[in-house]
A and B are shown apart, each in its own frame.
Chain A
Amino acid sequence: MKICIFEDEGYQNLYPLSLTRPVFELKCGQVTLRERILRNFPTVDTSYFMREYLTPAFSQDKKEVSVNEMEALKREDVFFINGRWLLSKGELSLTGEEEIGICGEETLYLRATTKTIKDCFSLNFREFIDSLKQKLKKKEVKARMITYPWDLINNNCWALEQDFEFPVKEGIQGKLPCSATIYGEKDRVFVAKSATIQPLVLLDSTKGSIYIDEEAIVFAHSHIKGPSYIGKKSQILGANIGEGISIGPLCRVGGEVEETIMHGFTNKAHRGFFGHSYLGEWINIGALCTNSDIKNDYSTVQVYVKGEFKDSEATKVGSFIGDHTKLGIGCLLNTGTVIGVGSNVVTAGKVLPKFIPSFTWYLNGRFYKGYGLKQIIETARVVMSRRKVTMSPEEVKVLEKAFKISKKEREKLIEKSKR
C-alpha cells in the first residue's frame, strides 16, 4: 500500500499562507503537516496531489516523488490522506477495510484497493475522489483539521508537546552556562549539541517542553516559556518568548512573541509584540511593530477569509502574513489582520486596515500598486542572496501565479484609494 497526501478545496480558506505553498507545507508544532503525516509511515511510498502551479517548486528537492500523477495511483492499494489533517502519533493505521474517514463535512482519508481505484478511475483527481466517495462506506472519525489559519495557532501548543515526545534525542547536549537557568523539569528541555545558550537565559519548562535545535543561539536575557520550539540556526535576541512558539529555521527574533508560528528566514529582530500570529517565510518585521491579539471588548475576532470577514469564534487571534512581506517600523496591526504575499507596508502611526492584499504597497493610509511584480521579485532576490539563498525559477513562477490570483482584490482596493 502507498499513501497519497492531497489538497482539497479547503486551500482557499488558508490564504494567503497557502497562496505560495500546498496546505500540507504549513507548519504546526516543530514540523509541517506533511512531515507529521509521513513520520507515522516512514517507509511507505508517497505521492502528492496539489494545485498545478505549485508542483514545480514543491518537486524541486523531491525528485523521486510522484506529484499530480494519476497513473501512479493505479499500481497498488492507496491510502489517501487529506493534507489539512493535523495527524497525531499513531492516530491512523494503513491497514483496514476500504472506507472513507469523515469528520463533520470534511473528508479525512480514503482507503481503497487497486480494484476500487480502477473502477472509479478518472484522469481528473477531484472527479476521481468524488467517485471514490460515492462508492466507499463512511466512518465518522474525530480529528484535528486545519480549516482556517487560526487553527494552526490554536493547535500549536498541543502539537509542540507531541513533537517533543517524537525524537529520540534527550536532555541537554549543548553547553548551558552556570548563570543560565532551567525553571521547571530539566527533562522537558532539549538543547542540541551545536546550539548556544548564553549566560542569563531563563528556560521555563513549568508549563511545557522547550526544544532548541541545532546551531540555534539564545542570547543573554532571553526568557523562553514552554511549550516552544526554536528551529535550526535561529537566533533569540534577548527576547521574551511566551508559550506556543514555533520558530525557524534561520529566524531572528527579538521583543515579545507568544503563540506564534514563523516559517524560515523570517525576521522580527527588534522590540514589539506579536501574538497568536502566523508568519510565512522571508518576512521582515520592522522595529516596534506590534499586533493586537485580543479586542478591548473581548468579543470574537473577525478575519478576512475568501473575500469577506468571517467570525473566527475565538477571542484571541493575531495576524496572518504571507511570504516576502515587509512591515516598516512602528506598524500597528489590528486584531485578526491579514496581509498577503509580497506586500510592503509603511504606516503613519495609525492602526493598519484588517486586510492588505498580496503584492500591494500600503503607504500612509492608502493602497498602491508600488513598483510592480518585477521589482518585488528583484527585492526578494536581494533579501535571499543576503542569506546565500538563490531564488529558483520555479519559485518565481509561484509568485507570478500568486500575483495573478490576487489581482482582483488588489486592484479593487487600489482603485478605491484613488477616490
Chain B
Amino acid sequence: MSAEERVKKIVIQQLKAREDEATSEARFVQDLGAESIDSIELMAAFEAEFDIEIPPEEGERVQAVGEAVEYIEKKLKEKDFSHKD
C-alpha cells in the first residue's frame, strides 16, 4: 500500500470519514470536522503507522490529507537517507 493509501485509511478510521470525503484536498478541521483532540490522535496514529516522529509545531502545520501525505513522504525519505548513512 502506498503512503497516500495508508494516510487515507487512517484519516477514515480516526475521523470517521467516508472514503469519498478523504480526498487529498480535504482539510481536517473545516471539511472533516476534526476537533483539536482529533488532530492530536491523528498525528499520533501517523507516527505509529509510519514509525516517525512528528514534532508538535510541524504537526500543527499539516492541515489537509494531501499535506499529510506530502509531509510523511518527506519524513520517510529523510529516515531512509539517515539509515543509509
Contact = CB atoms under 8 A, between A and B. Distances in A.
Contacts of A371: 36, 40, 56, 59-60
Given A364-B41, A368-B41, A418 B47 contact: yes
Contacts of A363: 37, 40-41
Contacts of B36: 371
Contacts of B60: 371, 375
Top 10 A-B pairs ranked by shortest CB distance? A372-B56, A418-B48, A371-B56, A368-B40, A363-B37, A368-B44, A346-B37, A361-B40, A370-B40, A371-B60
A366 B44 CA distance: 10
Contacts, number: 33
A369 interface: yes
B38 to A, nearest CB: 9
A374 interface: yes
Interface of A: 346, 361, 363-364, 366, 368-372, 374-375, 417-418
A346 B37 CA distance: 8
Nearest to B44: A368
Chain B: interface secondary structure?
Answer: helix
Interface residues of B, number: 12
Nearest to A417: B44
A419 to B, nearest CB: 8
Contacts of A418: 44, 47-48
Given A364-B37, A371-B36, A418-B48, 8 more contacts: A363-B40, A366-B41, A366-B44, A368-B40, A368-B41, A371-B40, A374-B56, A418-B47
B55 to A, nearest CB: 7
B57 interface: yes
Interface in B23-79: 36-37, 40-41, 44, 47-48, 55-57, 59-60
Contact of B55 (A346, A364, A372): A372
Nearest to A373: B56
A227 B48 CA distance: 51
Contacts of B44: 366, 368-369, 417-418
Given A346-B37, A361-B40, A364-B41, A370 B56 contact: yes
